[in-house]
A and B are shown apart, each in its own frame.
Chain A
């Protein structure tokens, strides 16, 4: 696309993860003109393509049923789920497995049936397995899904592009202005419908199991455009992710090791601190309990050098460990330890909680429509409250696939009915001027400093044991960032092509919006439920069995609540 040119498309999909890719395929099936935009290189970037590891939960064979799967999800979500959405999307899950199989995912089968294992919170074995036993499924998505897009030559893929703002006429989204990193130009895209598939905002934390570029761009865009957002206070952490040594940083494997071997946790004083918090269960407390305890140890200055706790297996017999290490000799985690000179029989691995999944996003209905006409949201950002207060392991991927199908179908149908999108010249000018402002300044605040501050605030106050006072302090910092830094952002790099400094400035704006939404919701919810834990309100409170919804009204963040309906499972039954 050359400079000044306007790209016209039927469906614009922002984000190239599993949900975005599946939606693009569905739009292609429906014969509409579809544009898939990714922030980095296609197939290597995107929301979830590579990080999806263990679970793909689907109810396939009796006695398991869709109904039971829905019930499990609701119980796991502490009854805060939007049950209608859960049922709608999980019903499509079996269909998505057939597709994945057809597209070349190597799934384990035995006697014509898929091999499934049971994971915590699920009533039946439901999680599909890699054909090579014990291998993660992540690479399979990376292999199978991008190829389906490349095969369909009509799908227009815009790589290295990031939306800076959505374009709107009245209450209808009619396209977007995007920064094309490849030539450093702002491009206008007129789209009859737009699907957000930008993933979560785990990148707003210092330590995450996800791609650190996932900073909640879609959340920021949708909020600024006036969409209603929901459940922003619920953030999932992977409690035992390795922080050190370097070659295995961010690796999730310690969690598997912990399941196989039951390690002991130590702080820097050599104290087995789990005993202090959980005298009965000690090191075998739940995942959340382990994460909470590590978080507190680090916060109170007893953490390991890289901000975690030591996980040790030294108490186990050497010959037992030898057997395990032999079985895992090709495992990249074990190889990495070896490379960095860490001997599992002697040394500890440093582990810490890492941001893993975001439950909050746009308020949607079962057609994946947001509160704005022509705007759809799927995957993590298409929250709708479907995950409730906690997400069951392995449920996000079937959701991504199913929502991709639904949104692709609905957006195509709408696009076919609507005339050409008409964007407002005045709004384009406003958005472009704003996006260019940091580039025009010759001094000011660097975006990287804003990003670092947000990550620090989120990692300190938005993890476990949140308190009202701390959240208020953090929100003051956010307000200060908004007033002093965002209006004075400075892109020091004035070159055009692949200007990463400029991209940081775009992301910084989204991160400030995201952090404020998450913190305001966390402050408002005066109870502890699922992933949201308030030290000053440690109990679950029935009167908080409702969603916190927020939207931008006259430049202010307006918060309200939305009741939960129980068409499939009522709280007293669970």
Chain B
């Protein structure tokens, strides 16, 4: 077990061009006051230069570019906005094929998806939603679809399992009709 100031981080490692099977590696790293992306950068710099992951804006300007979806302890999150924890398992976001380790290929969706239990509740106010597709275009992981039901186009969160929850919240932020709300299920993190 790591000492009090270090976290124990278990990371999914897989290079499809070389490895037959994925494996997990454990790192002991500082975590207090760091995000998940910070922790990955630390590992790359100080401990294991072979680690690959994605990052982009790092939360710059208060917006989200959506480059860093990672599965943290089984829950999808944007790594730049997710505080690191004392015990963490980091895995690639399950919706997309792995390029290497935690880095995913946004242009390739996985065929067989690992089941995860959604920790968020997304509601759409059908009165307010106009089916304008803004949420669909802004979502980094393709949670949304606009469907025509009863003659009116409305947005539906068809892939709630992929949602990065409160670390992202771009759909709710950019819905100019205020039709979307995202909350986290109580008890979940």
Contacts and interface: CB of A to CB of B under 8 A. Distances in A.
Contact of B18 (A330, A491, A495): A495
B80 to A, nearest CB: 9
A131 B176 contact: yes
A282 interface: no
Contacts of B178: 132, 330
Interface of A: 40-41, 44-45, 49-51, 53, 104, 106, 130-132, 135-136, 138-140, 142-144, 147, 159-160, 182-183, 208-213, 246-253, 306, 330, 332-333, 335, 339, 446, 448, 491-493, 495-501
A501 B65 contact: no
Interface in B48-78: 49-67
Contact of A49 (B18, B58, B65, B166): B65
Nearest to A340: B83
A498 B100 contact: yes
Contacts of A40: 54, 56, 67
A208 B59 CA distance: 10
A493 B175 CA distance: 43
B89 interface: no
Contact of B61 (A135, A144, A147, A251): A251
Nearest to B59: A250
Contacts of B66: 44
A208 B57 CA distance: 10
Interface of B: 15, 17-18, 33-35, 44-45, 49-67, 81, 83, 99-101, 103, 106-107, 134, 137-138, 140, 166, 169-170, 172-176, 178
- Please name the 8 residue pairs, one residue from A and one from B, whose CB atoms are nearest each other, closest first: A132-B176, A251-B62, A498-B52, A493-B49, A44-B67, A501-B49, A143-B137, A492-B49
A41 B134 contact: no
Nearest to B61: A51
A550 B155 CA distance: 54
B63 A51 contact: yes
Contact of A211 (B18, B53, B58, B101): B58
A160 B67 CA distance: 12
Nearest to B69: A44
A497 B17 contact: yes
Contact of A448 (B17, B45, B58): B45
6 contacts: A51-B61, A104-B137, A143-B137, A182-B99, A212-B58, A332-B62
B65 A211 contact: yes
Contacts of A147: 137
A333 B62 contact: yes
Nearest to B64: A50
Contacts of B61: 50-51, 53, 136, 138, 209-210, 250-252
A53 B51 contact: no
